[in-house]
């Protein structure tokens, strides 16, 4: 996917792979290079930036709803792991057109009930390569997406590299999408 869009309003984006925040101004031309999950990758004058799906209207696209937006979860509700996995499937590395779950990057998810009847979610995940510059952006995206559920007060992601990631950890669908068959 590659198409040109003109920014309709001021919007904050994150540089790829450096993770720095910057503001783009209305009228700026951008090239939409990826629209996956709940985010967009834009090429702005030769530089890649990440645009959150909640800001899709800035590029004249429909705002992308997450599972947390579609299901009424209230504070104190029990954790629904199917919803957690669905929410994590909306997280994409801006450089790879496959979500982090199907890439096999999520190793473990733990839940801890807090005193207020909400939850602390702990995630162990890895990266496709230990030196991947997208690591901090992916970690932040996972934590922010999990905290969008009303029954999750805290989310922490720990990067682990044992066992090292390899392409065998990917789902069949992910391998097909990346042409590894």
Burial code (b: 16+ CB inside 10 Å, e: under 16) for 108-119 equals ebeeeeeeeebb
Query: Rg of the chain over CA atoms, in angstroms?
Result: 17
Number of H helices, E strands in the chain: 4, 9
What pLDDT is recorded for position 134? 81
Distance CA 106, CA 87 (A): 12
Residue 1 pLDDT exceeds 60: no
pLDDT digits (tens, 9 = 90+) for 17-52: 888 899 999 999 999 998 887 889 999 999 999 999
What pLDDT is recorded for position 2? 63
Residue 176 pLDDT exceeds 80: yes
Residue 96 pLDDT exceeds 90: no
Distance CA 178, CA 86 (A): 21
Q: What is the pTM of this model?
A: 0.85
Q: Identify the structural domains of the chain with CATH numbers, from first to last.
A: 3-59 (2.30.30.40), 68-177 (3.30.300.130)
Count of residues for the chain?
A: 181
């Amino acid at each position: 996917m590659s198409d040109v869009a003109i920014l309709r309003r001021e919007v904050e984006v994150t540089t790829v792979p450096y993770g720095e925040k910057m503001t783009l101004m209305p009228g700026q031309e951008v090239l939409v290079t990826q629209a996956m999950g709940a985010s967009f990758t834009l090429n702005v004058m030769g530089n890649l930036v990440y645009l959150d799906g909640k800001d899709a209207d800035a590029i004249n696209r429909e705002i992308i709803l997450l599972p947390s937006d579609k299901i009424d979860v209230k504070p104190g509700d029990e954790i629904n792991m199917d919803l957690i996995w669905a929410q994590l499937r909306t997280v994409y590395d801006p450089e790879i057109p496959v979500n982090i779950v199907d890439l096999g990057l999520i190793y473990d998810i733990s839940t801890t009930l807090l005193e207020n009847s909400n939850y602390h979610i702990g995630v162990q995940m890895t990266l496709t390569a230990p030196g991947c510059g997208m690591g901090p952006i992916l970690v932040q995206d996972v934590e922010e997406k999990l905290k969008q559920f009303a029954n999750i007060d805290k989310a922490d992601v720990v990067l682990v590299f044992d066992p090292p990631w390899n392409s065998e950890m990917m789902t069949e669908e992910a391998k097909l999408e990346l042409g590894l068959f």
